[in-house]
Amino acid sequence: MKSIAFFTNKGGVGKTTLTCNLAAYLSEVDRKKILLVDADPQTNATQYMFKDSVLKEIYDKKSAFTIYSMARPLSQGKGFSADNEFRNSTNFKVDVLLGDPRLALIEDTLASDWNSGGVRGVRTTYMFREFLTKCNEYDYVFFDMGPSLGSINRAVLIACDYFVLPLSMDIFSIRATENISTWLREWRRRLDLQLKGLPDASETEIDDLEFRLRLLGYVNQQYTAKRDATGERRAVKAYEKIMSQVPQAIEKTLIQDQLEPQGLEYLLGSIPNLHSLIPMSQNSRKPVFDLKAADGIVGAHFMKVKESFEIFEGIADKFNYNLGVLNDQVA
Binding residues for Mg ion, rule: CB under 5 A, are 15-16, 44
State how far the Cα of 7 lies from the Cα of 41, in Å rounded to an integer. 14
Within residues 208-237, the interface with ligand ATP by CB under 6 A covers 221
Those residues whose C-beta lies under 8 Å from the C-beta of residue 233, and which sit 6 or more positions away, are 225, 226, 227, 272, 307
The least distance separating Mg ion from the CB of residue 63, rounded to whole angstroms, comes to 25
The least distance separating Mg ion from the CB of residue 146, rounded to whole angstroms, comes to 6
Ramachandran region, residue 112 (left: φ > 0; alpha: ψ -120 to 50; beta: rest):
alpha
Q: How far is CA 118 from the centre of its chain?
A: 29
Residue 278: in which H helix or E strand, if any?
Answer: helix 277-284
What mask, x for binding ligand ATP by CB under 6 A, covers residues 49 to 88?
----------------------------------------
Closest residue by Cα to residue 324 from 2, 33, 20: 2
CB closer to Mg ion out of 123 and 286: 286
Residue 253 binds which entry of ligand ATP, Mg ion, none, with Cβ cut-offs from 5 to 8 Å by kind? none
From the list 89-97, 115-123, 223-231, 273-281, the region that binds ligand ATP by CB under 6 A is 273-281
The least distance separating Mg ion from the CB of residue 14, rounded to whole angstroms, comes to 8
CB closer to ligand ATP out of 123 and 286: 286
The least distance separating ligand ATP from the CB of residue 50, rounded to whole angstroms, comes to 15
Is there binding between residue 181 and ligand ATP (CB under 6 A)?
no
CB closer to Mg ion out of 89 and 204: 89
CB closer to ligand ATP out of 122 and 250: 250
What mask, x for binding ligand ATP by CB under 6 A, covers residues 275 to 304?
---x--------------------------
State how far the Cα of 106 lies from the Cα of 85, in Å rounded to an integer. 19
- Cβ atoms within 10 Å, residue 175: 13
The least distance separating ligand ATP from the CB of residue 263, rounded to whole angstroms, comes to 29
**What DSSP state is assigned to residue 229?**
T
Is there binding between residue 148 and ligand ATP (CB under 6 A)?
no
Is there binding between residue 127 and ligand ATP (CB under 6 A)?
no
What mask, x for binding ligand ATP by CB under 6 A, covers residues 10 to 39?
-xxxxxxx----------------------
Handedness of CA 182, 38, 321, 323 (dihedral sign): positive
Which stretches within 50-204 are classed as H helix?
52-61, 67-75, 106-116, 118-125, 127-132, 151-159, 171-196
Closest residue by Cα to residue 21 from 240, 274, 243: 274
Q: How many residues make up the chain in this entry?
A: 331
CB closer to ligand ATP out of 121 and 269: 269
Complete edge-to-edge strand list for the sheet that includes strand 87-89:
87-89, 94-97, 34-38, 140-144, 2-6, 162-168, 214-221, 267-271
Instruction: Note the residues at the interface with ligand ATP (CB under 6 A).
Output: 11-17, 40, 42, 44, 146-147, 221, 271, 273-274, 278
